[in-house]
Structure 1
Amino acid sequence: MHHPAASVIRNVRLDGGSPVDIRIADGVITGIDDSAAAASDTASDGVVDGRGLLALPGFVNAHAHVDKSWWGLPWQSYGGEGGTDGRIRHERARRDELGIPSAETTAHVLREFVRHGTTAIRTHVDVDLGVGLRGIEAVREAAAAYGDALQVQIVAFPQDGVLRRPGVIDMLDSAAQAGVEFIGGLDPAGIDRNPVGQLDALFRIASDRGVGIDVHLHDPGDLGAFQIELIIERTLAHGLAGRVNIAHGFALAQVDAAHRRDLLQALAALDITMTTVAPLRLPQLPLQELDAAGVRFGFGTDGIRDLWSPYGTGDLLGIAWQYARASGLVRDDDLRRVVEIATSASAPFAGLYAGGLVVGGRADIVLLDAENVMDALVRAPEREMVVGNGRILFER
């Protein structure tokens, strides 16, 4: 794919302020100046007319599954049974006939992410006895089409369980040696029915191979909270502070306030992060409590148009909207904070420094027609242009 470089984006607004020009060199923002765009300049190479649009930092999708969508294929009707295990079985039964995983299906997903403004991704990629490490290869192939314009980090994800399928632990270890940034886990109690065993195995690999851990934890209430405590203990014991994430973590929002406060303090002390896909039918992770404790969290689209659910558009701003709406957030400061979490504050989830639209920051920039950041969140207007690492990835 050819992605032309941008050298100047003229006449854009940062959070509703007066127009500025953003200067870019080698994928980095080198200057932000008051806009005095001469019409003659706008025609030269690499100079983009921002038309007075609002500029936001690129969106960070901190929890995706780009390897397993039927995007680009005919409509696939929902089938099989509900629940995590039911969906796993249905996916295992049908994925081969749909060519999942493949670089082609992943390319469709990445295109949807990018045109909606995502420039950095942490994606879980299924690793199991049926596909081996093929999914990781497919994702790497699809991501390579964007070069360094799209930041993609991979979690080797045991979607079918860890201990209940002999050989999966060895496969995760192989993936860690082959260069994935994280290994994943899945409901150590609910799926493997052996929380201590699964977590001990994962932390041993992470410690030995120098990778991070990102665990899917759907188990609710006290059962989920117990596993969060086990994760905290092991993060401390293995010296993995700042390298561990809990995805979903519904239990945190379901336990009583005192228990939640204790968990949040312990998570913050070890910089154990959280990611949410803002599920509509469950209580949301509480913004003010997480921020007050200093627990970093990010948003993700989860799977989109896959054998788990037909829903999803690939729009991370839509997930941020869903989180804000479901959380009852209405004040400007809170809406701004939600957009910050969807963008610059979550850059570390994909292995980037938290930068944003500042001199020295990575030139990941999204232009849209909105009055200010709050307006952009509540309306989620179409993206007019998406720039990743200084390269134009999408233009409407």
Structure 2
Amino acid sequence: MRRLTGIANVRPWGEAAVDIVFEGDRIASVAPHRSGALGSHSIGADVLDGRGLLALPTIVNAHAHIDKSWLGLPWQSYGGDGGTDGRIRHERARRDELGIPSLERTAAVLDAHVRHGTTALRTHVDVDLGVRLRGIEAVREAVAAYDGAVEATIVAFPQDGVLRRPGVLKLLDAAAAAGADHIGGLDPASIDRDPVGQLDGIFGLAERHGVGIDIHLHDAAELGAFQLELIVARTDRLRLAGRVNIAHGFAIAQLPQAQRRDLLQAMGELGITFTTVAPLRLPQLPLAEFDAAGVAFAFGTDGIRDLWSPYGDGDTLAIARQFARASSIVRDEDLHRVVELATSDAAGFVGRAVHDLVPGARADVVLLDAEHAMDALVRTPPRIAVVGGARLLHESPTIDQGDHHG
């Protein structure tokens, strides 16, 4: 990994060309191009030539599963039963055969995310009676190979349920004690069939260890809304404001507008957030309503090439594009807003106060051959270069000077 002192001649968010100066793993300054900000440092040694390309803060993947892909293995045909519980059973039946979790598979997935411009992610890692904490160990080792240039926030995730598998709560407790950032949950009503019991268990662990909560909630409409109400009540009662996220949360988009408005207002007041993988078969999270209520949400890839689905390549910007298109978002200000959700505004989902091309932020920059953020979203062009913590992690073959916008 080549360590950089800066990037010359890039256009942050499509604005005028600048030089970005790094100090350590941080952005020290952003100055007009050719202002002398880079001093005696020369392009090609420790300064990357940005060639007038679009620069964005790197793309945040706020919902990944990097511990359980078959990426890099021969093609695996989709099998087993549909539905959440059916997919769980199929995964449990085949994962040992495929060597999941493993450092090799996890590293392959992480590398795919990095090539697509992600240097910070939140990943759910299976914790159950079969794998115990081995998945977390594999994830930490894969991330450590980047020597600090890539950061991962870990959710200890009970994919097989919490209460229906005695002993899982103790494993989640151990994961939190060993440094997991969040405790996960999964469909408290339809998987454990005891929403009060599951939520009491995982909220209790979060309160005891001072960690966050990130709950997969697939249950639809009124059943999902009932669980959202329980989550709101516990967040308020236990004073866990700002520490709870709902992954998927399809139900919120399926409710009558008045009911959704009241729920969003309550969640906004408590800092409850959402992550979405923008599933095409379901209504999308209503961006304007979420913004009006102050409820943040971010994008994720979910699993890629795993036993749940053969799709996925690690490109979170493509998920943002899918969301925008499925939501019929076409105006510039709204397209730009979606890119913000995929980059700078996702800072809190990976434990950062700021994630942008500004002094003091981590030196995490992605370069694309695009006119501006809106163009980058609708075309999702290849990532030309990816910089994490001031180190060059990925660089595509050189493009002709006349090919890029600027």
Q: Which stretch of the first structure deviates more once superposed, 285-294 or 9-18?
A: 9-18
Distance 1:310 1:37, change over 3 A: farther
Aligned partner of residue 359 in structure 1, secondary structure: coil
1:69 aligns with 2:59: no
1:96 aligns with 2:96: yes
- The residue number in structure 1 matching 2:51 is 51
Q: Which stretch of the first structure deviates more once superposed, 189-198 or 39-48?
A: 39-48
User: Which residue identity lines up with residue 108 of structure 2 in the other structure?
Assistant: H
* Aligned 8 A contact 1:11 1:37 in 2: no
Question: Alpha-carbon deviation of 1:41?
Answer: 5.2
Question: Alpha-carbon deviation of 1:360?
Answer: 1.5
Question: Alpha-carbon deviation of 1:18?
Answer: 2.0
Aligned partner of residue 51 in structure 1, secondary structure: strand
Q: Distance in 2 between matches of 1:183 and 1:269?
A: 22
Question: Alpha-carbon deviation of 1:148?
Answer: 1.4
Q: Distance in 1 between matches of 2:236 and 2:195?
A: 17
Question: Alpha-carbon deviation of 1:259?
Answer: 0.4
1:118-153 deviations in whole A, cap 9, x for unaligned? 010100000001111111101111110012111101
Which residue of 27, 30, 51 maps to 1:29?
27
Q: Distance in 2 between matches of 1:119 and 1:130?
A: 30
1:4 aligns with 2:19: no
* Aligned 8 A contact 1:10 1:37 in 2: no
- The residue number in structure 1 matching 2:17 is 19
Q: Distance in 1 between matches of 2:233 and 2:41?
A: 58
Q: Distance in 1 between matches of 2:151 and 2:137?
A: 16
1:250-308 deviations in whole A, cap 9, x for unaligned? 00000100000000000011101100000000000000000010001110000000000
Q: Distance in 1 between matches of 2:98 and 2:355?
A: 39
Unpaired segments ≥5 residues, structure 1:
none
Question: Alpha-carbon deviation of 1:14?
Answer: 1.7
Unpaired segments ≥5 residues, structure 2:
397-406
1:135 aligns with 2:135: yes
- The residue number in structure 2 matching 1:268 is 268
User: Which residue identity lines up with residue 4 of structure 2 in the other structure?
Assistant: A
Q: Distance in 2 between matches of 1:175 and 1:33?
A: 44
* Aligned 8 A contact 2:57 2:365 in 1: yes
* Aligned 8 A contact 1:64 1:301 in 2: yes
1:43-78 deviations in whole A, cap 9, x for unaligned? 453111101100000111000000000001111000
- The residue number in structure 2 matching 1:222 is 222
- The residue number in structure 2 matching 1:257 is 257
What fraction of aligned residue pairs are identical, expressed as a percent? 67
Question: Alpha-carbon deviation of 1:15?
Answer: 2.5
User: Which residue identity lines up with residue 212 of structure 2 in the other structure?
Assistant: G
Question: Alpha-carbon deviation of 1:17?
Answer: 2.1
In the superposition, the TM-score normalised over structure 2's length comes to 0.95
Aligned Cα RMSD in Å? 1.2
- The residue number in structure 2 matching 1:378 is 378
In the superposition, the TM-score normalised over structure 1's length comes to 0.98
Question: Alpha-carbon deviation of 1:238?
Answer: 1.0
Q: Distance in 2 between matches of 1:394 and 1:183?
A: 32
Q: Where in structure 1 do 4 or more consecutive aligned residues deviate above 4 Å?
A: 37-41
* Aligned 8 A contact 2:343 2:355 in 1: no
* Aligned 8 A contact 2:67 2:126 in 1: yes
Q: Distance in 1 between matches of 2:11 and 2:44?
A: 21
User: Which residue identity lines up with residue 187 of structure 1 in the other structure?
Assistant: D
* Aligned 8 A contact 1:344 1:355 in 2: yes
* Aligned 8 A contact 1:28 1:390 in 2: yes
- The residue number in structure 1 matching 2:402 is none
Q: Which stretch of the first structure deviates more once superposed, 11-20 or 31-40?
A: 31-40
Q: Distance in 1 between matches of 2:341 and 2:221?
A: 25
User: Which residue identity lines up with residue 59 of structure 2 in the other structure?
Assistant: F
Query: Would you say how many aligned residue pairs link Structure 1 and Structure 2?
Result: 394
Aligned partner of residue 207 in structure 2, secondary structure: helix
Q: Distance in 2 between matches of 1:293 and 1:8?
A: 39
1:305-339 deviations in whole A, cap 9, x for unaligned? 00000000100100000000000000111111100
1:174 aligns with 2:160: no
* Aligned 8 A contact 1:60 1:119 in 2: yes
Q: Distance in 1 between matches of 2:24 and 2:59?
A: 20
* Aligned 8 A contact 2:299 2:316 in 1: yes
1:50-109 deviations in whole A, cap 9, x for unaligned? 011000001110000000000011110000010000000000000001000011100000
Q: Distance in 2 between matches of 1:354 and 1:332?
A: 24
- Where do residues 318-329 of structure 1 align in structure 2 (5 Å cutoff)? 318-329=318-329
Q: Distance in 2 between matches of 1:186 and 1:241?
A: 20
Q: Distance in 2 between matches of 1:15 and 1:125?
A: 33
User: Which residue identity lines up with residue 237 of structure 1 in the other structure?
Assistant: R
Question: Alpha-carbon deviation of 1:216?
Answer: 0.1
Q: Distance in 1 between matches of 2:207 and 2:16?
A: 49
User: Which residue identity lines up with residue 258 of structure 2 in the other structure?
Assistant: A
User: Which residue identity lines up with residue 290 of structure 1 in the other structure?
Assistant: F
